[in-house]
Amino acid sequence: MSEDQAKAFVEKMKSDEDFRAKVMAEEDMDARMALIVAEGFDCSAEEIGALQELGEAELSGAVGGGVVSPFIDDDPGVADETGHAGLCAVL
């Protein structure tokens, strides 16, 4: 498991719309993580989550307070298990 691999995954999620759509299409979290590993990213959900937390902490004082995260599906037509549209986390 590698923090560098988690960072590479986050960068790919930010830069490759097709890859992001493929990952986000997998609804089961275990299957989603298996897909991430199958795509060559040797990292854990915890490592990816830690990067998300770090990014949010660094941006919390920014003007506007908004955080753009590759971990959030911003498709307003998609709802998470609580019914909130646009809040489907990657992990």
Question: Across-strand partners of 73?
Answer: 88
Question: Exposure of 91 by Cβ count < 10 A (0-12 exposed, 13-18 middle, 19+ buried)?
Answer: middle
Cα angle 30-35-41, degrees, rounded to a multiple of 5: 110
| Count of domains for the chain | 1
Range of the domain at 61: 3-89
Q: Using a cut of 0.85, tell me whether the model's pTM lies above it.
A: no
Percent of the chain with pLDDT over 70: 58
Q: What is the pLDDT of residues 50-75, one digit of tens each?
A: 887 776 665 555 444 444 444 445 44
